[in-house]
A and B are shown apart, each in its own frame.
Chain A
Amino acid sequence: MAFIEARDISKTYSLGDVEVSALMDVSLTIEKGEFVSIMGPSGSGKSTFMNILGCLDKPTGGKYLLDGTDVSGMDRDRLAEIRNRKIGFVFQGFNLLPRTSALENVELPMFYKGVAANERKERALKALEMVGLAGRQSHFPNQLSGGQQQRVAIARALVNDAPIILADEPTGNLDTRTSQEIMGLFVRLNADSAITIILVTHEPDIAAFSRRWVRFMDGRIIKDEEAAQRHG
């Protein structure tokens, strides 16, 4: 069985009397350790699909199996638990808590998991070291550069040992050089720790770091291609 399996996922929003279909019978399977880019113009349904994959939203039709469990019918709290344990989010706007140190930002997912204080600190420091921010644990987000903030966010996504990282335009707010560095970090995590990475982007040179490209258009997948061998 596939690690991530979306079967005939559809999502309809009702705006008053009008029904708007954001996704129409989308099916996609992703295996453990894949590095997938999801591409497409805005309004193509890629963000809606990402929200469903990230358990932030529920599909109105179809089935979503994550690691063998059907999550499409779960309630808020069960979904929160799945997000906490299985999915690490990396956003375009970093989404760190302001006035909260890098260390505490990274510790946050472990609070909601109920990890003991000393273990929390130890693991958070290790995660910060992994993303190349050793020694910066007491900095606040406004004292860090964009690239460093995104590294803190990646450390936060890693710290609960989530098998999946969902990155929504992670380089959208960064300059080219920093973008390359961040993508390099993703490639390394994917290769070294076999973390499944799903990346939403509309920039081809960012998507080029991944090994599979899924293209959305008008609520459907129109292209799904795999690279034989690229960066490693």
Chain B
Amino acid sequence: MVNIPWTARLALRALKVNKMRSALTMLGIIIGVSAVIAMLAVGSGATRRITEQISSMGSNLLIILPGSTTSGGLRMGAGTQPTLTSGDARAIADEAPAVDAVAPVLSGAAQVVNGRQNWSTVVTGTTPAMLYVRGWTLSGGRPFTGADVKNATKVCLLGQTVVDNLFGDEDPVGKIVKIKNLPFTVIGVLGVKGQSVMGQDQDDTIYIPLTTAQRKLFGTAFPGMVRIIMVKGKSTGQLDEAQTQITDILRQRHHIGPRQDDDFTVRNLTQLMQTAEQSTRIMTLLLGAIASVSLLVGGIGIMNIMLVSITERTREIGIRMAIGAKTWDIRVQFLMEAFIMSLIGGGAGIALGIGGSVVLSKIAGWPTSVSSFSILLASCFSGAVGIFFGFYPAYKASLLNPIDALRYE
């Protein structure tokens, strides 16, 4: 039986004899491990930011865009032909079982004025369901109601960026702002959402009842026209189903024949975001893989030093063999040295990696997140590197001929 605690003490003592050499060897592992941890932290920080942005979009979101026009064989992009109406939105809400909520939108840019302050922003005409569809809450005041939409009242909800620009620190609820010179009463303030995945400021917006936008602000080519319809599916699994149901309903309502193309497009935004998330994951893996190369180099450093150390200590190995050390006694002794070096290096590397990612996020402003998974991975990996690269030198030592080893000068 090999005496493990004793061997560990023996190994620690052997490492102390050549302090500088052991420290430099560990440095390879330290750099490798900290690089792995920091790179994974950068990667998973980016992934987390994207995940947050996805959930800020609202979950299980489908967006219906009006179709493209075809003029003389030239097909224009989606949205060039206004074809969607609030009637379509109502029909989807009523008839598609996989759909949870529907919010039609008619939006446009407009100048907004409060006293001497003015600001250009996107004014979004929509229904009360919008807040639910986008998963948006109010930070003050009240939302507008179905009655507001029915009566086309001039009330509005301000995004935080608009509040900041027009009111500063003042509470805007109950105040009057002028949108395109029409007075609107501010009834609420939208909670802060931050940037969208595309980098847009989601808080730079004003919500007003859909009918007010249609009749009083923007005007429409035909009654009830909307620019887009936002749809929240009942669940992620039902999104495909919802998409089919919406397509069927709209084709029927728009009188599209079996051989004709749709005059609208249904986009699954969640899917798009998931693709973005996946590509960040791949980036994380790639960064991690590059960092592991330095860990590998650190391992080779351990092997190199162990080989040197075994040559220097040939006589010691010979003495131990003469006295009764068996093959595995010698192997475990040197494996232990390599293992302890990589373990200490791994521990220091984890500390340095965590510190490094904090510094990265402070200085470079990158979002970083050190996961316990990456710490576990790094410690297992560095231990494995020690054993893997320690094995060959230990194996070599154990095969020495005791007589030659004893005579070695």
Binds B, one of A14-22, A107-115, A181-189: A107-115
User: Given A51-B403, A111-B6, A114-B3, is A95 in contact with B324 using a C-beta cutoff of 8 Å?
Assistant: no
Question: Is A91 positioned at the interface, with any CB of B under 8 Å from its CB?
Answer: yes
Contact code string A85-99 (vs B, CB < 8 Å = 1, else 0) = 100010100011111
CB <8 Å contact, B323 and A108: yes
CB <8 Å contact, A81 and B406: no
A99 vs B16: C-alpha distance when bound (angstroms): 11
A208 vs B315: C-alpha distance when bound (angstroms): 31
Q: Which residues of B contact A83 (CB under 8 A)?
A: 322-324
CB <8 Å contact, B406 and A80: no
Question: Is B17 positioned at the interface, with any CB of A under 8 Å from its CB?
Answer: yes
User: Given A57-B403, A91-B406, A112-B329, is A97 in contact with B324 using a C-beta cutoff of 8 Å?
Assistant: no
CB <8 Å contact, A95 and B406: yes
Least CB separation from B319: chain A residue: A95
Looking at the assembled complex, report how far the CB atom of B272 sits from the nearest CB atom of chain A, in whole angstroms. 65
Interface size on B, residues (CB 8 A): 21
A81 vs B1: C-alpha distance when bound (angstroms): 12
CB <8 Å contact, B326 and A109: no
Q: Which residues of A contact B315 (CB under 8 A)?
A: 95
Interface size on A, residues (CB 8 A): 26
A81 vs B325: C-alpha distance when bound (angstroms): 8
Q: Give the contacting residue for B326; candidates A76, A156, A160; CB below 8 A.
A: A76
Q: Which residues of A contact B13 (CB under 8 A)?
A: 99
Contact code string B4-29 (vs A, CB < 8 Å = 1, else 0) = 00100000010001000000000000
CB <8 Å contact, B324 and A109: yes
Question: Is A149 positioned at the interface, with any CB of B under 8 Å from its CB?
Answer: no
Q: Give the contacting residue for A99; candidates B17, B320, B321, B324; CB below 8 A.
A: B17
Task: Tell me which residues from 88 to 130 in chain A have a Cβ below 8 Å from any Cβ of chain B.
Answer: 89, 91, 95-99, 108-109, 111-114
Question: Is A56 positioned at the interface, with any CB of B under 8 Å from its CB?
Answer: yes
CB <8 Å contact, A80 and B321: yes
CB <8 Å contact, B3 and A111: yes
CB <8 Å contact, B322 and A112: no
Looking at the assembled complex, report how far the CB atom of A42 sits from the nearest CB atom of chain B, in whole angstroms. 13
CB <8 Å contact, B403 and A89: no
Task: Tell me which residues from 171 to 200 in chain B have a Cβ below 8 Å from any Cβ of chain A.
Answer: none
Least CB separation from A112: chain B residue: B324
Question: Is A72 positioned at the interface, with any CB of B under 8 Å from its CB?
Answer: no
- Known: A56-B402, A83-B324, A114-B3; 6 extra A-B contacts, CB below 8 A, are A76-B326, A77-B326, A95-B322, A109-B324, A113-B324, A114-B1
Residues in chain A within 8 A of chain B (CB atoms): 51, 54, 56-57, 76-77, 80-81, 83-85, 89, 91, 95-99, 108-109, 111-114, 156, 160
Residues in chain B within 8 A of chain A (CB atoms): 1, 3, 6, 13, 17, 315-316, 318-327, 329, 402-403, 406
